[in-house]
Amino acid sequence: MTTIYIIRHAEAEGNLYRRIHGQYNSLVTPRGKEQIKRLAARFSDIPVDAVYSSDLHRAMETAAAVAGPKNLPVIPVPGLREVAMGVWEDLTWGDVERNEPDQLYAFNNDPARWTVEGAERFDALVARVTDAIRGIARQNDGKTVAVVTHGMALRAFAAGVMGIAPHEISRVPHADNTSVSLLKVDGEGNMEFEYYGDSAHIPEELSTFARQKWWRESTTFDSSNMRFERLDLANQEDLYLKWREKVWYMECGEKAPPRERWLEGVRKNALAHPRGVAVSYLGEEPVGVIELDVARAAEEGAGVIEFVYVEDDVRKTGKGAQLLGHAVSVYRALGRTRVRMSVGKENALAKEFCERNGFCPAGAESGGVSERRVFELDIAVPGDGA
């Protein structure tokens, strides 16, 4: 009998930013790193003979938490990768909810009917992951191993093991980040789960699912997913200036705001990149904006966030990170390795946002009407050519 602990990777950018990251290679978030520490503690007293992982970075980093303390290598297995999402890769879930709701419903509730350009068929996913795990079992007959994979890959494999048809996949629970499932494989290759999706090692404050509701609902639609549209200055100039002024008065008091300079800058930034200035929406309601200056600091390999704002009631629910996800998406595609933003010295909300989302202090900026602190976020994915 072979014992296989199957682990879903720690929280990664796609989970936090609510972007579709199938085989898009992304980083583990600060919360994910804390989850990894708890996973390592869970496995500290569990004997493991070998550790295997999807070769995507978020899975490999998670696997290292089990392998490292035991002085084992992490063996990469491409067959354990997440489902390939085709043209959906790195879109926001909010964009897909709005533009392709029927396909999204199929993906979540009857994935055999899911047909997206360039995407992997559900039956091919099941076969790929099953073959990978069967191969690992054969190589480790009678041993105990750990395997790190991804959410949909695990769910598809589990449905196959449990004999659950694609149109009944809602019977297979979603597994939280770093959750552990225990699979037993006998000498004939028969497989059975002893338990599935256990996350007892993760306290509620570190759980990804505790902050989200989509996985609890039969539709799996999530009204907290943002979508992004280009700023329409012809109709949204007043809204943009209102948001700018709100931050300005917070940082600079009653000094006259430089409205014309802002408008000149936002026009330039909007022309420089089609996604350079984007308004975020929840449903039909505009709730924030992110403005990127793609020219500034390009020679340093950095991407600059010129301005970011999200309404207070939205920010308090943690959704503001989705605007950061937009910036990371743009700048990583441009080959930048860091995202940079400056905040007013007295802007405690902005500083807290930076610190919570993994930015590090990178100096100060002088000049202007207020002293500003500079923060940078490393977005280079190791081994991804960045």
pLDDT higher for 345 or 175?
175
Q: At residue 75, what is the residue type?
A: I
pLDDT at 340 exceeding the cut of 90: yes
Supply the pTM of this predicted model.
Answer: 0.93
pLDDT at 224 exceeding the cut of 90: no
What is the structure's pLDDT at 221? 53
Catalytic residue among 11, 13, 61, 82: 82
CA 110 to chain centre: 23
Q: What's the mean pLDDT in 338-359? A: 91
pLDDT, one tens digit per residue, over 110-124 is 999 999 999 999 999
Q: What's the mean pLDDT in 30-46? A: 97
What is the structure's pLDDT at 215? 47
What is the structure's pLDDT at 386? 44
Interatomic CA distance for residues 185 and 97, integer angstroms: 39
Does the annotation mark 300 as catalytic? Answer: no
CB-count burial class (<10 Å; 0-12, 13-18, 19+) for 184 = middle
Q: What is the number of alpha carbons within 13 Å of residue 174 lying toward its C-beta?
A: 16
pLDDT at 212 exceeding the cut of 70: no
Looking at the DSSP bridge assignments, the partners of residue 343 are: 373
pLDDT higher for 318 or 342?
342
Contacts of 182 (CB under 8 A, 6+ apart): 3, 4, 5, 6, 193, 194, 195, 196, 198
Contacts of 239 (CB under 8 A, 6+ apart): 279, 286
**Given 3-state DSSP classes, what are the helix, strand and coil percentages for the chain, each rounded to the nearest 5?**
45, 25, 35
Return the CA Rg of the chain: 22
pLDDT, one tens digit per residue, over 196-208 is 999 999 999 999 8
Q: Give percent of the chain with pLDDT exceeding 90.
A: 85
Q: What's the mean pLDDT in 152-179? A: 96
pLDDT at 104 exceeding the cut of 50: yes
What is the structure's pLDDT at 23? 97
- Full set of structural domains in the chain with CATH: 2-216 (3.40.50.1240), 227-378 (3.40.630.30)
Contact 154, 82 (CB under 8 A): no
Catalytic residue among 9, 57, 174, 326: 9
Tokens of 333: 């595609």
Does the annotation mark 82 as catalytic? Answer: yes
Averaged confidence pLDDT in the chain? 93
> pLDDT band at 302, cuts 50/70/90?
very high
From the list 213, 210, 194, 212, the residue with the least C-alpha distance to 202 is 210
What is the structure's pLDDT at 25? 97
From the list 314, 287, 306, 318, the residue with the least C-alpha distance to 18 is 318
pLDDT at 381 exceeding the cut of 60: yes
Q: What's the mean pLDDT in 27-54? A: 97
